[in-house]
Amino acid sequence: MACATRSTPGCATPSTDRGTIVSADEDGSQGSNRGRRERLSRIRLVGFAGAVGLALGVFGTLVVATTGADGRGASTLVFSLGALAFGFALLGWSGSVAAGRSIEATQAHLDTDTGWTESGSRRAMARIGGFGAGVMVGASVTTLLV
């Protein structure tokens, strides 16, 4: 089959990956696989933290409600604590994205590398945010059910 354009399947410039020459199709499918893996990893990260938060939200609301506070007070307390974590994480995530790699570059420039990375910060904030959102949902669900 003649190559009319570079976008025709199999006609793009071959690229190298880990030392072996692979065709553009293989390269593309590897890229999409990697993208899918990254997406799954992100979902797993936030999902796990959210599930922990949800369980803790439900458990926390029940514990606070049974130790003196009325149902509404318990729900408000636990929901607000979750909202604190969620709000903090949102701000931290936005700050990491806004700062970009400049903090890493500054640390490298000043030779004071602490191992802090933008992607690490975003992951940490996503985890805290997921946890906080989970707690909020947990407290809300408990309020609805109980």
- The binding site for other proteins (CB under 8 A) comprises 72, 75-77, 79-81, 83-84, 86-91, 93-94, 97-98, 136, 139-140, 143-144
Residues with Cβ within 8 Å of residue 92, at least 6 apart in sequence = 121, 124, 125, 128
Q: Name the phi and psi angles at 15, rounded to 5.
A: -125, 165
CB of 79 to other proteins, least distance (A): 4
Q: Is 128 helix (H, G, I), strand (E, B) or coil?
A: helix
The residue (of 24 and 61) whose beta carbon lies closer to other proteins is 61
Q: Smallest distance, Å, CB 72 to other proteins?
A: 7
- Minimum CB distance to other proteins smaller for 45 or for 90: 90
- As measured in angstroms, the least distance from the Cβ of 24 to other proteins is 26
> Phi, psi at residue 16, to the nearest 5°?
-105, 145
